[in-house]
Amino acid sequence: MRSTRMKLLALLAIMAMLAAACGGSDDAASDGTSDATDTAADDGSTDDGSTDDGSADDGAADDSSTNSGLEGTLRVLIHQNPPGVEFMENFNSEFEAANPGVSIDMTVVNADDIPTVNQTRLNAKDIDVTTISVTGFANAVQPYMTGADSPYWQQLIEAGLLMDLSGQPYLANYDQAAIDGSSFDGGVYALSLGRTSYSGMFVNEDILAEVGVDIPTTWDELVSACEAVKDAGFKCAVAGGQDAWPVFVGTYGLLGSLYPDQQALVEGLWDGSVKWDDEQGIKLFERYDYYANDMLDAESAGLTGDSAAQRYAAGDVAFGPMGAWNAGAVADNAGFEWEYIPFPGSDDAADNQTLFGKDDMSFAVAADTPVPDIAHAYLAAFSEPDNYNAFANATNYLPTQPTAALESALGTSIAPILQAGNFAIGFEQLFVQPKGAGQWHNAKDGALWMYNGDFTDPAVAAEQAQADLEAGLAG
C-alpha cells in the first residue's frame, strides 16, 4: 500500500534529521538549505523494498510522523490534465497523512498559462514546487547562438528563481536522458516526469507476415517492404496530410537516424560545419521526397492527425509514421498485431535504434522557497519507484524512470527501447532560429515541402534551406 510506504518515508525522514542534528556541518547550516534538502531527499530515494512487506508498525509510524520536523504549507502548481490532476490529489492526501504537520496547497492552471503564472508567482515568492514546463527545457539558447532570445524557463534560471537540484538522491531514480533534458549550464533545474515520442512508426505485423517481409531495420529494407506491400494490394503508409504538420512530424525519426547526435546537428548548422545542402543533407531531402510521394498513400490528403491514426487501425496499411500519442486510438481499434519502432531512416541499423521526442511535464523548485525540506521530501516521495510507476500509468506518459513500465500495448512495445536508454531529445526541441533567417531555413519541415509540391527537386529544396539559414547567420 502506498499509504504505508508514505508513513515509512516520514519515519525515515525523522531518523535522518535526528542524525543530521547530531552531526551536521557548519557548511550545511550556513547554506540555509543544504542540510534540510539533503536529509529530506534521502527519505524518499532509498529502502524502497522495506516498505512493502507489511512488517512496519503503523502506530510507530504514526507517532514518529508527528515529530518528523516537516512543518508548513507546500504550494504546488500543476497543469490541467484530468488523469494527472486526479493522481496528484490522491498523492497529496497521502503525503499529508504521512506528515501531519504539512498541508499541500495545489493550484491547477491551463498549460498555455504556465509561463505567465510561473513568472508572476516565482517573482512574488508565492510558489514552492511548480510545473515549470510541459515541453521540457526546449530551445535553450547556447553560447554559439549569437543574438537569439532565451526561452522563458532559461530566463528564470538565469534570474536565480529556480533551485539547482544537482546532487539530490532522488535524481538517481531517473534515466540520464531525463536528467540531461532538465539541465542547463551545469545544473539540474527540474525533474522530468514524463516524455512523448514523435519519431517512431506503427508497424502492422500481420501485413508484413502475409507479404513475407521482416520488420525493416534500415532504409533500404523499409523501401523494399513498402514496395512489396503495395504490390500485394495494401497501402504502405498514411499520415494526416489535411493538418499538414503530421507529414513532417512523421519524418522526425528520419532526421534523427541520419543525424543521431541532434545537438551536434544544431551546433553544426550554426557554425557552418554542417549544411542542409551537403552530401548528407541532399540524402535527407531525397528520402523526404520518397516518404512524401511514394510511402504516403494519396488518401493522406483527406486525413487529419487524429483520423489518420483511426484509418491506420483499419488494418490495410502497413506503416503509421506518427507520434506515440496515437497509440490509444490504434490499440482501441486495431484487430491486428502491431509494434511501435524507431523510424529506420539510416543505412546503418545501429543508427535506427533511438526514439526521439520531448520531455513533457517537469517539476521545479523555487530557489527562495521557505520550505525546502518539505519540497525535497515531496519530490523524493513522488520519485519512489512504485509511486512514479503509478503516475506514469495514470497519465500514459512515456516513463523517465528506467524501472517504470507502462501497462499498455505501447508500453510493452517500447519498454526494451527505453530500458536500453535509447531515447533522445529531438531536433525541434534544440534548434533556435537565427534572427533574419528566411522562410525555408528549417529543414525539419522538408517532407511537407515535398508533399505540398513547394519543391519537386530535393537538391533544390536543400539549397534553398541552406540559403535561408545563412541569411540569418549572416545577420
* Domain 2-192+362-396 in this protein, CATH class: alpha beta
Rounded to 10 deg, the angle between the 82-98 and 385-395 helix axes is 160
pLDDT at 47: 37
C-alpha cell recorded at residue 112: 498555455
pLDDT at 4: 39
pLDDT at 56: 36
pTM equals 0.81
243: phi > 0 → left, psi -120 to 50 → alpha, else beta; which? alpha
C-alpha torsion 347→348→349→352, nearest 10? -80
pLDDT at 41: 35
pLDDT at 475: 77
Q: What are the residue ranges spanned by the domains of the chain?
A: 2-192+362-396, 198-356+435-473
* CATH superfamily, with its number, for domain 198-356+435-473: Periplasmic binding protein-like II (3.40.190.10)
Mean pLDDT by 10 residues, the chain (475 residues): 42 39 36 34 37 36 52 98 96 97 98 96 98 95 95 97 98 95 96 96 99 98 99 99 97 99 98 99 99 98 97 99 95 97 98 97 98 98 98 95 93 93 95 98 99 99 99 93
Distance CA 69, CA 211 (A): 66
Distance CA 253, CA 345 (A): 7
Give 402-453 as a 3 state SS string.
CCCCCCCHHHHHHHHHHHCCCEEECHHHCCCCCCCCCCCCCHHHHHHHHHHC
Largest CA distance in the chain: 77
